[in-house]
Amino acid sequence: MRDGVRYGLSLHSYLLSCISYSLMVDPLPTTSELSSSRPVEVDIGDDFEKIMRSRHLKTWDQVREAIDILHKTTYTHYVVRESKVNKENPELYYRYVVYICTFGHKKKPEGTGQRVKGSKFTGCKSMFRIRYEHTRSIICTFKTIHTHPCNREYLTNDPWYRKLSDDQLQIVTPMIVISSDPKGIIKYIDENFNKPIPINDYKTLRHKVFKAHQKKQVM
């Protein structure tokens, strides 16, 4: 009987050690990894209602401000898909405009023998349509469900999110010209501008900065 209990305890200990080892070698998948294998639905309807639909959008600046707040609040990004210029009231800019999720384009089919390239596009159907009506812009159609995670980590797949503004670029340009430490500059950009740029983006940025710097020296 004692041998049986001892065997049971040793087997139990062995199984626990195997589980612990597997967790160390193969950690649980991250949110981004889960999104590629499981369907994801994120509804930003409440934020959309508060930020976009509750406002009286009388000028195009007000429309842009609301969309900017929506982007920052929900970790989403909408781009213009279709539009018509408002010639009657240039202050409102568009007579109508359709915004779609930046991850909403369909993937282009790959031909036989071509290299399979990664794509940020997931076919997300989230969108909204703004129409000029009675001296203001109204949101007449919208879909607020995204078929991908809406968080900072996922949004870094969109180059728009990683792009520096003119003011931010003006700050880091002297650092890039003087410093030879890319990791330090990348860390500074992430901590101060909330822009997690990869090393390839930094190399592209550095090339543009040096090219512009050389032109200034020639002039």
- The pair of three-digit structure tokens given for residue 188, joined into one six-digit string: 């500074």
pLDDT band at 2 (very low <50, low <70, confident <90, very high): very low
Same domain, 139 and 62: yes
Same domain, 146 and 178: no
The count of domains in the chain is 2
Least confident of 80-84, 138-142, 211-215: 211-215
Range of the domain at 50: 37-109+118-158
Residue range 161-170, pLDDT digits in tens:
888 888 888 8
Same domain, 48 and 138: yes
Please report whether residue 10 resides in a domain: no
pLDDT at 106: 60
Please report whether residue 88 resides in a domain: yes
Please report whether residue 11 resides in a domain: no
Same domain, 171 and 153: no
Please state, in angstroms and rounded to a whole number, the distance separating the CA atoms of residues 168 and 153: 21
pTM: 0.63
Work out the angle at residue 206's Cα, subtended by the Cα atoms of residues 203 and 210, and round it to the nearest 5 degrees: 140
Q: What number is the average pLDDT over the span 78-83? A: 93
Please report whether residue 22 resides in a domain: no
pLDDT band at 148 (very low <50, low <70, confident <90, very high): very high
Residue 117 has pLDDT above 80, yes or no: no
Please report whether residue 3 resides in a domain: no
- The pair of three-digit structure tokens given for residue 16, joined into one six-digit string: 């626990």
Please report whether residue 209 resides in a domain: yes
Q: What number is the average pLDDT over the span 94-110? A: 79
Residue 200 has pLDDT above 50, yes or no: yes
- The pair of three-digit structure tokens given for residue 117, joined into one six-digit string: 């390239």
pLDDT band at 90 (very low <50, low <70, confident <90, very high): confident
Please state, in angstroms and rounded to a whole number, the distance separating the CA atoms of residues 113 and 144: 38
Question: Scanning the structure block, which residue is given the tokens 């990004």?
Answer: 77
pLDDT at 105: 67
Residue 46 has pLDDT above 90, yes or no: yes
pLDDT at 81: 93
Same domain, 101 and 189: no
Please state, in angstroms and rounded to a whole number, the distance separating the CA atoms of residues 4 and 53: 70
